[in-house]
Structure 1
Amino acid sequence: MKLLKVLILSLLLSPVVHAERLKDIADIQGVRDNQLIGYGLVVGLPGTGEKTRYTEQTFMTMLKNFGINLPSGVRPKIKNIAVVAVHADMPPFIKPGQTIDVTVSSLGEAKSLRGGSLLQTFLKGVDGKVYAIAQGSLVVSGFSADGMDGSKVVNNTPTVGRIPNGAIVEREVPSPFGTGDYLTFNLHDADFTTAKRTAEAINNLLGPGIARALDASSIQVTAPRDVSQRVAYLSTLENIQVEQADEAAKVIVNSRTGTIVVGKDVRLLPAAITHGGLTVTIAESPQVSQPNALANGNTAVTQNSNINVSQADRRMFMFNPGTTLDELVRAVNMVGAAPSDVLAILEALKVAGALHGQLIVI
Structure 2
Amino acid sequence: MGLDTIFATRIARMKASEIRELLKLLDRPGILSFAGGIPDPALFPSDAFAAAFADVLSGNKAGQALQYSVSEGYMPLRQWIVGQMAAIGVPCTVDNILITSGSQQALDYLGKLFLSPGDTALVGWPTYMGALGAFNAYEPVYDQLSVNGNRSPASYAEAAEAAGGRAKFAYLSADFANPTGETVSRAGRENLLDMAAALDIAVIEDAAYQALRYDGAPVPPVLALEIERCGGIEAARTIYCGSFSKTLSPGLRVGWVCAAKPVISQLVLMKQAADLHSATANQMAVAEVAVQCFDTHIERVRATYKARRDAMLTALTREMPEGVTWSRPEGGMFIWLTLPAALDGATLLARALEVHNLAFVPGRAFFPDGSGGNTIRLSFSCADAAMIDDGMARLGAVIREALA
Bigger Cα Rg: 1
Please say whether Structure 1 and Structure 2 have the same fold, judged by a TM-score greater than 0.5: no
Q: Which protein has the bigger strand share?
A: 1
Q: Which protein has the bigger helix share?
A: 2
